[in-house]
Amino acid sequence: MSQDRFHGRVKGADRVCDWPECTEKGEFRAPGHKPSGFDGPGDYRWFCLDHIRAFNAGYDYFEGMSAEEIWAAQSPIHGWERESRSFRPTAGIDAAPRWADFADPLEAISQRAKARKEQLRPTAWPDGRFVSPEEKRALDVMGLGADADRRALRVRYSDLLHRYHPDRNGGDRSHENRLQQVVEAYQALRKLPAFA
């Protein structure tokens, strides 16, 4: 099959135009009566040049759709509403890289992967014992690393109390949930041997 300057023309086809009472060759394919779906691509109709022009002039892709369906079909992300894990903007990593900081996109992707691998590496206390997930969450709430000592814990706790407690921050009660997390994290961490 060869094509010429008319986009979509299939020469050498031995089909007759599907337009009623037309005897020209059907060299242009158009959607048929059976739409494409789960069981295949559907069927096609074949028209001559004059009748494919007439068909295209009267064709309405949105025919039979509601206003909401038309709006959704016109969206640039139509069909991509549910993102797969690999194609999420974060791809399972905290934030997208700053592309301007890298000459090569693969370098940016590699750095993100290394950072993620580093995040997943188990953290250990100074005595060599691994930090449990609960202890890791408490350290994250406090903004401390596993190398922090008792004094660093107390200083950080005092700083966070001043920031989040309504009696110390001018009566702002919008941070009460965060304050509760800080208190619970401090209570859990202060009992550990690393902070004794």
Say if residues 47 and 26 touch (Cβ distance below 8 Å).
yes
Domain that holds residue 17: 1-63
Residue 6 has pLDDT above 80, yes or no: no
Give the C-alpha separation, 46 to 32, whole Å. 9
Give the C-alpha separation, 98 to 108, whole Å. 8
Residue 91 has pLDDT above 60, yes or no: no
Ramachandran sector of residue 93 (left: φ over 0; alpha: ψ -120 to 50; beta: rest): beta
Say if residues 131 and 146 touch (Cβ distance below 8 Å).
yes
Residue 94 has pLDDT above 70, yes or no: no
pLDDT for residue 186: 92
Residue 10 neighbours by CB distance under 10 Å? 16
H or E stretch covering 30: strand 28-31
Say if residues 23 and 17 touch (Cβ distance below 8 Å).
yes
Is the residue at 14 inside a domain?
yes
Residue 25 neighbours by CB distance under 10 Å? 19
Is the residue at 3 inside a domain?
yes
Computed from CA positions of residues 161, 167, 169, 172, in that sequence, does the dihedral angle turn out positive or negative?
positive
Last residue of a domain, one of 17, 43, 63: 63
| Average pLDDT taken over every residue of the chain | 81
Write the CATH number for 175: 1.10.287.110
pLDDT for residue 2: 53
Range 56-79 average pLDDT: 84
Give the C-alpha separation, 80 to 77, whole Å. 5
Last residue of a domain, one of 63, 84, 110: 63
pLDDT for residue 118: 73
Is the residue at 78 inside a domain?
no
Range 41-54 average pLDDT: 88
Is the residue at 16 inside a domain?
yes
Dump pLDDT digits (tens) for 111-138: 877 877 777 777 888 888 888 888 888 9
Give the count of domains, the chain.
2
Distances (CA, A) of 141 to 13, 138, 160: 71, 5, 10
Is the residue at 28 inside a domain?
yes
Is the residue at 118 inside a domain?
no
Last residue of a domain, one of 45, 63, 81: 63
Is the residue at 174 inside a domain?
yes
Is the residue at 30 inside a domain?
yes
